[in-house]
Structure 1
């Protein structure tokens, strides 16, 4: 993947700390991730392929617990890492343009989704359904963190994540690349399965409760809703993303059979 270049190396106190077996194992396996240090129990490190340049400090469970937020399920593994390199939106769209007709991967655009657990869960669904990547506004999205990486269950290392300054401008660039921009909105008339059609799709989702903002909706080609029961007002944004990605995957499966 083409990238903008490494972000400036952060001071040790400001580097993200990832915890949990899935998150740490994925970070160690990612050639684009710089792992600065590893803390582990003797049991937690069993079976890991650790590069010899990564320093390891062994500690007991209680001591590891002091390195992360209270009650964080570290599973005997904590890694201090550098943030991943930044990704250019143009480079990601070029990758999408190279997809064969039967495998036009969807793109996820998140509008003011700031909860790290939601973004992590969305990354996990994006990896599961082979999405092209996710796009967020830099000022209104969480940074890489242990909580986000834990929720992503390794997908933080797998799914390209583009951070942009201006989301409306990014949506314009996404349209120019041939994506049909569908904003998920509970008040929409059209059902998502109908709105998807046969186009290359960018799914636009907003924060839980507020939904996508008016300006963002104006930069969508169509608004659509999930066909949920009226007994429920809305779904968590990460659940909505998973269902929307499944709808795209189901369409593609039908088209290739």
Structure 2
């Protein structure tokens, strides 16, 4: 219940009694007459304060966090979102923010006709709790997922062998954001995640990805195993990352159409997913810890793919084409 609709309550309950100077007991409530309770003029009704326009706006914005809108936080994610043409409803800038940090965002917002509202820092803290917003928050529509076919089409448009990353129940949004950031740097054509038991595209992911979420398409599927079979039919090889692999990581040919599967942070690849892989990759380990963070493992493998593909192009005498920049 809204606090404005709650009347202050007395420490004494209605109808309680007290003793006067003469020792007689009397009640706080006037006696009823004709079945009705008479109004006690000694206790006038407490006026209910009206919500200000600012109170209503804050309530509406904080309630929107539970809806379909996404709140982006931080300078770089918001700048990249605007440059990528993301639909942004409004940008909130802290009145206490350093001018040199927020000025580029304000300039870009002015060019694109996006409303910028200056607010107190505490308001930003409520909009994006547990996030470092750097004094700027943007309200944007949630990132749209794509279809698996769109990822393959993206590779075909570039004239490149498909390179796709599949995440098997990676639940940490920071890991997902880091994978997207590395995927953008290594030319991955897209990332596939399952609908259940997996991190989804949230503001935390956008922040961790440093804006890469705007450039790396993500497909969300109901069944990862069935998707792997479809990728095989499309001509892709499925390589799973697992610590118990027998094949040497650097001795495996990764130049062809490839899908790399990264497992859960704690359990690794699930049994069915592991069984559907064409081969398993194992990173060399020499320390006391026998596993790597999911995003770190993905980064190591993806850069080995890049290295092998660049070497193959040099040997074939084909000059590597410089891809057209996606970052408008």
Would the TM-score normalized by the shorter structure come out above 0.5?
yes
Note the residue ranges of structure 1 that are not aligned, 5 or more in a row: 1-10
Root-mean-square deviation (Å): 1.8
Give 1:230 deviation, angstroms.
Answer: 4.5
Matched, 1:159 2:221: no
Partner of 1:7: none
**What is the TM-score with the length of structure 1 in the denominator?**
0.88
Match of 1:39 in 2: 92
Greater relative CO, 1 or 2 (CA 8 Å, sep 6+): 1
Q: Does 1:79 align with 2:133?
A: no
Q: Does 1:233 align with 2:290?
A: yes
How far does the alpha carbon of each residue in 1:213-243 deviate from its partner, in whole angstroms, 9 at most, with x for none? 0101111111120112142210000000000
Matches within 5 A, 1:1-257: 12-13=64-65, 14=67, 15-31=69-85, 33-41=86-94, 43=99, 44-48=101-105, 49-50=108-109, 52-70=112-130, 72-100=131-159, 103-257=160-314
Distance 1:159 1:187 in 2: 30
**Secondary structure of 1:195 counterpart:** coil
Residue deviations 1:50-106 (CA, integer Å, cap 9, x gap) = 155432221233432222113x21111101111122211112112224443xx4352
- Whether contact under 8 Å (2:166, 2:192) holds in the other structure is yes
Of 33-42 and 234-243, the range deviating more from structure 2: 33-42
Whether contact under 8 Å (2:80, 2:214) holds in the other structure is: yes
- Structure of greater Rg: 2
Using structure 2 for the length normalisation, give the TM-score: 0.70
Q: Secondary structure at the match of 1:66?
A: helix
Would you say how many aligned residue pairs link Structure 1 and Structure 2? 243
- Alignment partner, residue 18 of structure 2: none
